[in-house]
């Protein structure tokens, strides 16, 4: 609702998809499972909401054995990092899903601003 409140063009497109599939207001019918699956724009809106505002914004794993992470070590960050048994490794889906370097860069056809 927060994102829809500041993206009226998204609301208009979503309402038109819902309207043409289910009807709007008192004439509208409840969506079936198939309706929900086939309303692509609705799914895109929910997925994009969870990209920017993930319900689980960070998480962790604990190393059960001595192991390594493939990158992050040394000044260039390209060498493996040692992870002793029992180490908690935190990762943030929220940060990852907003990192510009993980998405198509400017000039690439698929480019978009991941903070928007």
State the minimum distance, in angstroms, from the CB of residue 54 to ligand HEM: 6
Nearer to ligand HEM, 19 or 57 (CB): 57
Q: Rounded distance, CA 3 to CA 49, Å?
A: 7
- Site residue total, ligand HEM (CB under 6 A): 4
Which residues from 33-72 bind ligand HEM, rule CB under 6 A? 50, 55-56, 59
Give me the count of residues in the chain: 116
Is residue 115 involved in binding ligand HEM (CB under 6 A)? no
State the minimum distance, in angstroms, from the CB of residue 11 to ligand HEM: 21
Is 25 buried (19+), middle (13-18) or exposed (0-12) by CB count in 10 A?
A: exposed
Nearer to ligand HEM, 74 or 89 (CB): 89
Give me the DSSP letters along 43-105.
Answer: HHHHHHHHHHS-SS--EEEE-SSSEEEEEEESTTS-EEEEE-TT-EEEE-HHHHTT-GGGSPP
Which residues from 88-107 bind ligand HEM, rule CB under 6 A? none
Q: Which residues bind ligand HEM (CB under 6 A)?
A: 50, 55-56, 59
């Amino acid at each position: 609702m927060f994102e829809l409140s500041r993206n009226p063009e998204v609301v208009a497109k979503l309402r038109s998809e819902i309207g043409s599939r289910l009807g709007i207001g008192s004439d509208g019918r409840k969506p079936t499972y198939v309706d929900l699956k086939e309303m692509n724009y609705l799914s895109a809106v929910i997925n994009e909401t969870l990209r920017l505002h993930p319900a689980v914004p960070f998480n962790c794993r604990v190393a059960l054995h001595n192991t390594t992470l493939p990158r992050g070590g040394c000044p260039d960050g390209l060498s493996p990092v040692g992870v002793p048994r029992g180490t908690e490794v935190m990762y943030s889906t929220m940060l990852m899903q907003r990192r510009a370097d993980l998405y198509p860069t400017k000039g690439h056809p698929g480019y978009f601003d991941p903070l928007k």
